[in-house]
């Protein structure tokens, strides 16, 4: 009898899996008809200024997304933040039967690097199936993709005889990723803890691939204080903050190790009063990239040691971290990447996982032990430039691939 019961349970599992394949086909059929709607939504979203430091603009972009979701009956809520754009949360497929099941998340950020007012001279445009505009690839196209994944799942629940989704699905859309997620990271960590998987819709690579690993990174501000003096009258009485900073930069850059994937870059420097004054102050911004958490801690310790070691008598240097991203290590994407590849193949395209030196919120979720895949948005290129673009003909298949991956995971 026990064997018969086991067989009965296994039969139901096979039947449910077979049913899900059928529902996945229905879901993909619906998505295939949404290309024009997706492009319309992309145009509307790109034409909302949403620089990271423009909270009102970032929130306006979120309100627009919310309007698309609630019109289909999707439940939305907000996590209020003090300085950054509020976090929009959208929930699909919750009921009593799966309320305690680990959710699957689709994620993205609404902020862009482009200054407020950019739209006055450069807004959404297209040339055939190539779209242009501030943030069109990074990552407003990914936001639209995720919205249509959620809308598609909601449509499936409302129009088919599927009783429930295997797992609840949550969209989490932040507003400060481009500046290191200083506030959004805490919402991500709180909500995603214990999740089944995360699909982060940063732009797909120009190769068509997704991102299966990313470097971690940190941004620092270095301040050096010296002593002012007239460079012609009493030069010897001065302590050059710029001179001290120059020596520090050389030591910091020496920490770069290409073989290990570690890079340090002082990309901004300012200081001094005038050419005939020994500089009393100097400031620099340092960018650090690393592949593993252990590397990051090791190099940060070396950076602190350099800053704490006097290079010119009387010059005082201090350093503080402005932002930090955890690395997205490949081991946290292996299973979900293989699953996504199968679904991508089923809708007509092949894809591999790529490593990139750029950071993203995927580092936060993967560092919590949540299987994560990044770069699942439409394909784009030249991010953070006036020439940034998105390939519109990748919208439908990549939306289908994410939606199927969620339904069949």
Return the active site residues.
111, 177
Query: Quick one: tokens of 212?
Result: 């299966």
Q: What backbone phi and psi angles, to 5 degrees, belong to 260?
A: -95, -5
Query: Quick one: tokens of 162?
Result: 């599927």
Q: How far apart are CA 194 and CA 381, in angstroms?
A: 33
Give Cα 147 to chain centroid, integer Å: 16
- Map tokens 């996945």 to a residue: 24
Strand partners, 24: none
Task: Provide the CB-side half-sphere exposure for 218 (13 A, CA).
Answer: 21
**Quick check: helix, strand or coil at residue 381?**
strand
Strand partners, 106: 171, 199
| Farthest CA pair distance, the chain | 101
Helices (H), 237-367: 241-253, 293-308, 334-346, 362-367
The CA R_g of the chain, rounded to the nearest whole Å, is 25
Q: How far is CA 35 from CA 40, 126, 139, 155, in A?
A: 9, 14, 17, 16
Helices (H), 160-263: 184-192, 241-253
Q: What backbone phi and psi angles, to 5 degrees, belong to 352?
A: -120, 165
Core vs surface per residue 369-383: b (16+ CB within 10 A) or e: ebbbbbbbbbbbbeb
Going by C-beta distance under 8 Å and a sequence separation of 6 or more, which residues neighbour residue 130?
A: 389, 390, 391, 392
On whether the CB atoms of residues 115 and 121 are closer than 8 A, the answer is: no
Q: How far is CA 335 from CA 276, 317, 353, 373, 392, in A?
A: 62, 46, 12, 9, 28
Core vs surface per residue 176-203: b (16+ CB within 10 A) or e: bbbbbbbbbbebbeebbeebbbbbbbbb
């Amino acid at each position: 009898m026990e064997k018969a019961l086991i067989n009965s349970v296994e039969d139901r599992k096979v039947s449910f899996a077979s049913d899900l394949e059928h529902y996945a086909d229905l879901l993909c059929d619906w998505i295939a008809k949404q290309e024009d709607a997706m492009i319309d939504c992309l145009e509307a979203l790109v034409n909302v200024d949403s620089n990271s430091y423009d909270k009102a603009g970032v929130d306006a972009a979120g309100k627009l997304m919310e309007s698309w979701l609630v019109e289909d009956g999707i439940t939305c809520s907000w996590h209020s933040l003090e300085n950054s754009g509020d976090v929009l949360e959208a929930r699909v497929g919750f009921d009593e039967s799966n309320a305690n099941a680990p959710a699957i998340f689709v994620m993205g950020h609404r902020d862009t690097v482009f200054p407020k007012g950019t739209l006055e001279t450069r807004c959404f445009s297209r040339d055939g199936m190539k779209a242009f505009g501030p943030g069109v690839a990074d990552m407003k196209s990914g936001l639209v993709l995720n919205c249509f994944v959620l809308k598609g799942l909601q449509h499936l629940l409302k129009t088919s005889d599927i009783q429930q989704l295997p797992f609840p699905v949550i969209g989490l859309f932040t507003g400060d990723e481009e500046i290191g997620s200083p506030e959004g990271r805490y919402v991500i960590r709180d909500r995603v803890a214990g999740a089944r998987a995360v699909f982060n819709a940063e732009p797909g690579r120009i190769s068509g691939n997704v991102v299966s690993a990313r470097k971690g990174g940190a941004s620092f501000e270095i301040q050096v204080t010296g002593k002012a003096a007239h460079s012609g009258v009493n030069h010897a009485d001065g302590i050059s903050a710029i001179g001290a900073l120059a020596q520090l930069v050389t030591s910091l850059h020496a920490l770069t190790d290409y073989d290990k994937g570690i890079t340090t870059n002082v990309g901004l420097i300012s200081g001094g009063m005038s050419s005939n004054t020994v500089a009393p102050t100097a400031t620099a911004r340092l960018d650090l990239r690393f592949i593993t958490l252990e590397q990051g801690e090791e190099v940060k310790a070396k950076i602190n040691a350099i800053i704490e070691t006097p290079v010119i008598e009387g010059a005082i240097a201090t350093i503080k971290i402005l932002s930090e991203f955890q690395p997205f290590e490949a081991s946290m994407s292996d299973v979900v990447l293989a699953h996504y590849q199968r679904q991508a193949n089923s809708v007509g395209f092949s894809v591999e996982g790529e490593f990139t030196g750029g950071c993203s919120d995927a580092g936060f979720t993967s560092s919590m032990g949540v299987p994560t895949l990044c770069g699942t948005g439409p394909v784009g290129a030249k991010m953070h430039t006036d020439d940034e673009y998105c390939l519109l003909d990748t919208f439908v298949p990549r939306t289908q691939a994410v939606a199927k991956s969620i339904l069949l995971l």
